[in-house]
Amino acid sequence: MTVDLLLARARRLWVELAGVPMTFPIRGADVAVSAESLICPPGWTGIVTLGRAAISTVPTEGLEAVVREALDDLPVAALTDPEQLAAVLPVAEVLGPATLAYCDERAFRSYEKGASERVPADHPEIADLLASVPVEDAAECGLAEITSPAFVVRAGSRVVAAAGYRHWPERVAHLSVLTAPDRRGRGFARVVASAAVAEGLDNQLLPQWRARPEPSRRVARALGFRELGVQISVRISTPGNWTGTGIGLGTD
């Protein structure tokens, strides 16, 4: 599959998640009101760039013109930069940015330098692994939400790494990977992720890897994922209190 085909499939996914009819333009950003948008938390503004274009959903009609005008002033590469967004919008909180990467059968580089084991997603040892990491890591990895089997690596009798995916719209497999803190940097994430990606591809799904930390992005690239875009969510405060100087509210 060419990059253009990967990009087209990824764009179809995010347009569906937007919850309203919209398209990625040739360049720049399309902005629409969508209170039910799934590209950001409720009440927030979501921005997804893929290729040289972007879509953005806002929660209310009152924000549509404000966000559209602000995004029109920025190049696409800046649309997911928190500091540049804060210079043109009254940004109170930020989630992200996270890189969006995709893989197909031709690009996939399987990694088999270690054995993984297939277990049910609700296996008690998956819960044990999640409980062994900081709460933020457990929430960000999304392992508790997978709908595929889990693929695990053990050290002795203990599960120290696991991966799987959640079924998303448009036949997308959204990857989740987690390694115990004391076992990171040893290639375990690549072993279990490789097994999960292979499972998704065998089921004719499009693997998606969404990540913020560079170590996670390195694992994805090693497996053949191409970074095609970025996702960010921002909560916009009351414009009247905005200083225009950075993230947060201006206060006296």
Q: Where are the domains of the chain?
A: 3-98+230-238, 117-222
Per-residue pLDDT band at 68 (split at 50, 70, 90): very high
Across-strand partners of 158? 155
Mean pLDDT check: name the lowest of 104-113, 143-152, 171-180, 213-222. 104-113
120: closest CA among 154, 140, 143? Answer: 143
Question: What does residue 177 show for φ and ψ, rounded to 5 degrees?
Answer: -140, 140
pTM: 0.89
Q: Residues 208, 100: contact at Cβ < 8 Å?
A: yes
The pLDDT, as a whole number, for residue 245 is 41
Average pLDDT, the chain: 90
The pLDDT, as a whole number, for residue 252 is 26
pLDDT tens string 100-159: 999 999 999 988 776 788 999 999 999 999 998 888 888 888 999 999 999 999 988 889
The fold of the 117-222 domain, in CATH, is Aminopeptidase (3.40.630)
Per-residue pLDDT band at 239 (split at 50, 70, 90): low
Per-residue pLDDT band at 210 (split at 50, 70, 90): very high
The pLDDT, as a whole number, for residue 157 is 83
User: Across 42-51, 148-157, 211-220, which has the greatest mean pLDDT?
Assistant: 42-51
Across-strand partners of 159? 154
The pLDDT, as a whole number, for residue 156 is 84
Per-residue pLDDT band at 244 (split at 50, 70, 90): very low
| Sheet of 206-211, strand order | 28-33, 53-58, 45-50, 226-236, 91-102, 206-211, 172-179, 158-168, 150-155, 117-119
164: closest CA among 136, 196, 194, 207? Answer: 196
* % the chain with pLDDT above 70: 92
